[in-house]
Amino acid sequence: MIIRVLCCSFPSMPLYTNKPFSPPDLFRMTFPAASDSHFLSAPVSLPEIFTDHYHDFVVNWKHMISSSLDFEHLLEESTRIHGHLCPGQVLGVKMSMLGLKEAGIKDPKGKDRKNIIVFVEMDRCATDAVQSVTGCSLGHRTMKFMDYGKMAATFLNLKTGKAARVIAIEESRLTAKNLFPAIENKYAAQLEAYKVMSDDELFEVSEVRVEIRPEDMPGRPLGRVRCEACEEQVQDMREVHVDGRVLCRPCASGGYCEFFHGERYAKKA
Ligand SMILES: [Zn+2]
Ligand SMILES: [Zn+2]
């Protein structure tokens, strides 16, 4: 069996295969040259290339196998939930894996599920991947949507207060475009490139501090009041006080919709 491996930057070499393989296969792998765009055409035996780095390689290889399998599994799951495989899924899965690692969250859907909140800054394909990998959702109040239009998310560990913001590097789009020039469809090329690019090439990570207000935490609603204009109920202290009146936000500053039969809000949309 020959397995192709794309080598972007040895020794942190990302796998370019989703087939599991065992150590004896190492000697029959096809390796590309250690540059981003040149490939050796013939299979080359591993010791010839990496004699001096063999131990390092095996250690990295073991790490790569486990993280790669996690990635493949998570990508499969997010693709199923999202409905299609796209560059956003690859990016979102990788972004989440990195953010969780940086925030020290090992088991987001298991024992850490009550210790995590994610702030997403985009409502794009990648957002579904973040939801799929972290298990965080708007409904659980563990996902907060910040409408910034940026390909970024912050992963907060509620137990330790540690938080990491991960943003996709704009230049990575260009790198991705050049990595697979043979693939005509630019989205397909981007998708394949994102799969093999390293976290360093794809993302910038910052350690950040996030204050969560009690009314934004998961759990029972902290408050419930009636808007004095439209008389609809408002939960979680989202009401506003204007000239001594308690109002819902759309009554105070306009809502997102207009009613066909009689305006309901005090302020026009
Ligand atoms: Zn998509
Ligand atoms: Zn109102």
Q: What is the average pLDDT across 85-101?
A: 97
What pLDDT score was predicted for residue 55? 52
Report which bound ligand comes closest to the CA of 125: 1
Domain residue spans in the chain? 23-215, 223-269
Q: b/e string for 22-38 if b means 16 or more Cβ within 10 A?
A: eeeebeebebbeeebee
Distance of CA 206 from the midpoint of ligand 2 (Å): 39
Report which bound ligand comes closest to the CA of 266: 2
Q: What is the average pLDDT across 191-212?
A: 96
- For 223-233, what is each residue's pLDDT tens digit? 999 999 999 99
pTM: 0.76
CATH architecture of the domain 23-215 equals 2-Layer Sandwich (3.30)
Distances (CA, A) of 256 to 49, 119, 140, 184, 221: 62, 22, 23, 41, 23
- For 170-183, what is each residue's pLDDT tens digit? 998 888 888 988 88
Radius of gyration of the chain from its Cα atoms, rounded to whole angstroms = 24
Give the CA angle between residues 78, 114, 220 to the nearest 5°.
110
Let me know if 77 is exposed, middle or buried by CB neighbors in 10 A (0-12, 13-18, 19+).
middle
Question: Average pLDDT over the chain, rounded to whole?
Answer: 82
Distance of CA 123 from the midpoint of ligand 1 (Å): 11
What pLDDT score was predicted for residue 268? 79
Say how far apart CA 13 and CA 7 lie, in whole Å: 5
Q: What is the average pLDDT across 14-20?
A: 40
Say how far apart CA 118 and CA 166 lie, in whole Å: 11
Distance of CA 250 from the midpoint of ligand 2 (Å): 6
Distance of CA 216 from the midpoint of ligand 2 (Å): 21
What pLDDT score was predicted for residue 263? 84
Q: Check whether 51 has a pLDDT greater than 60.
A: no
Q: pLDDT over 90 for what percent of the chain?
A: 64
CB within 8 A of 252, min separation 6: which ones? 240, 242, 266, 267
Report which bound ligand comes closest to the CA of 128: 1
Distance of CA 86 from the midpoint of ligand 1 (Å): 5
